[in-house]
Amino acid sequence: MPSQDLFSQTDQPIDPGKPPEPVAQIPQNLTAESKITAALGPYQTHLEQQGRALNTIKAFLGDIRILQRYFTERGENPALGEITTDMLNAFLHWLCHERKDKHGKVMGCKPKTYARRVTSLKSFFGWLFESQIIFQNPAAGVVQRSARAPLPTILTDDELEKLQKTARDMLWSPRKPDARPYLLFTILIHTGVKKGELLRIRLDDIDLSNPREPVLTVRYDDPRYAHKERRLFLGPDFTPVYKQFLRQYEPKERVFEWSPRNLEYVLSDLATAAGVDPSHISFEILRWTSAVRAYRFGVPPEAIRKKLGLSPIAWRETFEKIQKLAAPR
């Protein structure tokens, strides 16, 4: 639930016909012809004078900077008085459905984040209007509504087959065999563990006492997350690959003694070698792919929830997405 401080701005439209009396001293040298960047400093002062929390100020300013970057990417730099409600609505649509990360994947916008960004727009342009810097409030007509993020990306059956084959070829390469890509990919696709969980795997977290049924125990040092601890079976093909990996890399304490960025490069290089778009493979994509495959194979939903280490509340939305992703297309 958002804090009262963060969402205390009114969402009621302000009559654009006649501006009210200024509620504070009008910032010097700031006019309707000024650009967004010129208003950020005075706006920060306004928020501080209101007694806003530091995190709220940072969030509001960050949201307005994203708006400026949105205009810049389109080759635009409108004056404050030129910004319209349609422009702000287009910006919000871009946030939810068009904004992409460095890999070209649509980022989406979580409902709470979307709601805060609408509030940031209303706060910023409401302040400009009340200070008589602009004479119409373009944010007054922006509707505060929820935004549903797009469905996660998962690997297609063809992509999965190509990645598995390429990882196997690397494992058995006569010139320079490498067990790391195969082991990394296999653990992620079999278990669906998160990036942080994978990086914490210690050597003694993997039990090979029954080579045909190796087991990974996901552990948490913080007792608050004890409910996330679980035992996950790795499949009979895991043991020989893992032993080859140990001989090749000789890890001392943790299985994957590399940085997260380095392991992301391993996945990206695997995708490139397999002829798969590197933006289609990541820790998160493999986690979702693992969950959807389990559901398609008939694993009971409660077993999938426990496998992913999710609480019953978090599972509701996740299971809904898994069902949609698993549906025939």
pLDDT in tens, 66-76: 999 999 998 99
**How far apart (Å, rounded) are the C-alpha atoms in residues 105 and 99?**
8
pLDDT (0 to 100) of residue 246: 97
- For residue 11, what pLDDT is reported? 33
Q: Is 243 helix (H, G, I), strand (E, B) or coil?
A: helix
46-60, 100-114, 183-197, 296-310: least confidently modelled range? 100-114
Output 113 or 139, whichever has higher pLDDT. 139
pLDDT bucket at 316, cuts 50 / 70 / 90: confident
Taken in order of first residue, the domains within the chain and their CATH numbers are 1-150 (1.10.150.130), 157-326 (1.10.443.10)
**pLDDT tens figures, 200-247:** 999 999 999 999 999 999 999 888 788 889 999 998 889 999 999 999
Q: Is 284 exposed, middle or buried (0-12, 13-18, 19+ CB in 10 A)?
A: middle
- Summarize pLDDT for 125-176 with one digit per residue, the tens: 999 999 999 999 999 988 766 545 578 999 999 999 999 999 999 999 999 9
Measure the CA–CA gap between 254 and 200, rounded to whole angstroms. Answer: 7
Residue 19: predicted pLDDT: 43
**For residue 96, which of 39, 149, 21 has the smallest C-alpha distance?**
149
Amino acid identity for residue 99 in this structure: R
With CA atoms as reference, report the closest residue to 60 among 72, 45, 70, 47.
47
Sorted by sequence, the CB contacts under 8 Å of residue 218 that are 6+ apart come out as 191, 193, 197, 201, 205, 228, 229, 230, 231, 232, 309
Q: What is the pLDDT of residues 8-26, one digit of tens each?
A: 333 333 343 444 444 445 5
Token code pair at residue 221: 């040092």
Taking the whole predicted model, whether its pTM rises above 0.75 is answered as no
